[in-house]
Amino acid sequence: MITEVLRPPRVVLRRDTGNWGLQTALHRRGLGPVAGVDEAGRGACAGPLVIASCVLRPGDAARLDGLTDSKLMTPAARDRMFDLVRARAVDYAVVVVPAAEVDLMGVHVANIEGMRRAVARLATHPGYVLVDGFRVPGLTAPSMPVIKGDQAAACVAAASVLAKVTRDRIMEDLHGELPEYRFDVHKGYCTGLHGRALRDHGPSHEHRWSYANVAAAGIAHGLRAPHRVALSVAAAAVVQNGEPPQ
């Protein structure tokens, strides 16, 4: 049996609609509500992975003026937009995947699973889902990956703001618990400051041991990787070889 993939009909997008054009076109073709999905923390070696989904009203472009990729916004602008998006969105959901779960599943699998959860938690079931960057199988609605989606689609940009601000605040809170790592500055990403802290203090319970730099710092301090990392290595071997490792 051949299964057809639901794709939006071809439409002409006007340049003057900016990052609202794609989701507006989908709405006009009867494929709304349109949800955007994005993550924050994929490249970090400490702290959680945070994924958000968001559904916006097509007519809210003026009220959400300045909405774009969260990485292109100043912290003050992100905080302002975070409050606006939460106030104006039709619906949104935020999923926090702890470092331990990232280690256990691997960051890519954890990201995809988090995106599924974020869409499933929406009370407003979407007619279509736009995902930043890559295809996500198993969503509860038809979907399409959008290259640089956080710049091309407003709902994805809104999701990126929700995810990044949520994660930044988590990392700032972790700084109070683990001030020696300066999570308030680098937010768990692999900067020179973070690397020096890892060399000086070794990994914390918030570090991702499945990342090579964290594992190397742990070994240098005479620490053993948590059992979760051994499990993730075994799982990767199953996927690669098609059979359990000996």
Residue 146, classed as helix, strand or coil, is: strand
Residues in the chain where the model's pLDDT stays below 70:
1-17, 227-246
Residue 244 has what pLDDT? 36
Backbone angles phi, psi at 34, to 5 degrees: -105, 125
CA distance 178 to 201: 11
Every domain of the chain and the residues it spans: 17-172, 178-240
Residue 19 has what pLDDT? 85
Residue 100 has what pLDDT? 94
Residue 134 has what pLDDT? 87
Q: Which fold has domain 17-172?
A: Nucleotidyltransferase; domain 5 (3.30.420)
What is this structure's pTM?
A: 0.86
CA distance 246 to 227: 17
Residue 10 has what pLDDT? 54
In eight-state DSSP terms, residue 18 is G
Q: What is the DSSP string of 59-73?
A: T-TTTTTT---GGGS
Residue 230 has what pLDDT? 58
Dihedral in degrees, nearest 10, Cα atoms 71, 76, 80, 82: 40
Residue 226 has what pLDDT? 76
